Amino acid sequence: MVELLFSFSLATFILAISPGPDNLFVLTQSIVNGKKYGLATVFGLMTGCLIHISLVAFGVSKMIKEHESIFFMIQLFGSSYLLYLAYKVYQSDNEIALDKGAIRNESLFQLFKKGFIMNVLNPKVTLFFFALFPHFLFSDNISIVVQFYLLGAIFILISFLVFATIALLAGSISNYLKEHSKISLRLKWGQIIVFFFIAIMILS
């Protein structure tokens, strides 16, 4: 159980720190408007995750309880989807683009709401949780729904810490990315390796 949760935590950390629309949005908001505005965005994004976790927790747990044979199909879908994500990351640009020109001044609540809506209206987040979480169920004695929420809590906690760090250190991170152009390539391949490794582990 401990090893499984550690693997899940490590995968979450690498995925959270890898360049993506969410953490780059937090970074640009923090650079342009200030740290507290970046943090407001982070709180919105993390709150949105609760919606996706609930959808997956109750949907998948019901399927597993009623049709245990469906679990293999969930694993197959999850593995295929993660390999697809790895391929999409491979195809993406190696450079991290910080589009600061399109950002306008907004209130803390507006940024919280924007982060929340960005997350909730993104079906890829639900698909990602659907693909990732079932493999890391860690107990036969604890309710599946409870396990999903515990995994979700770990995911949100780690992602929040990473995103909040990005918001608080936005200026330094931006300068570092400008001075070390190869770091984006390393983060890109780190993300590919994590997706690929979890996809293979799901089917093993």
Going from N- to C-terminal start, the domains of the chain cover 2-94+104-203
Judge contact between 163 and 26, C-beta under 8 A: yes
Query: What is 2-32 written as a DSSP string?
Result: HHHHHHHHHHHHHHHHS--HHHHHHHHHHHH
CA distance 77 to 68: 15
Over 70: is that where the pLDDT of 164 sits? yes
* From 25-34, 37-46, 70-79, 166-175, the region with the lowest mean pLDDT: 70-79
pTM of the model: 0.83
pLDDT of residue 185: 75
Q: Which of 177, 197, 164 is nearest to 37 (CA)?
A: 164
User: Which helix (DSSP H) or strand (DSSP E) does residue 129 occupy?
Assistant: helix 123-132
CA within 13 Å, CB half, 84: 10
Residues 106, 114 contacting (CB under 8 angstroms): yes
Q: Hey, what amino acid is at 74?
A: I
Q: Which of 50-64, 67-81, 127-141 has the lowest mean pLDDT?
A: 67-81
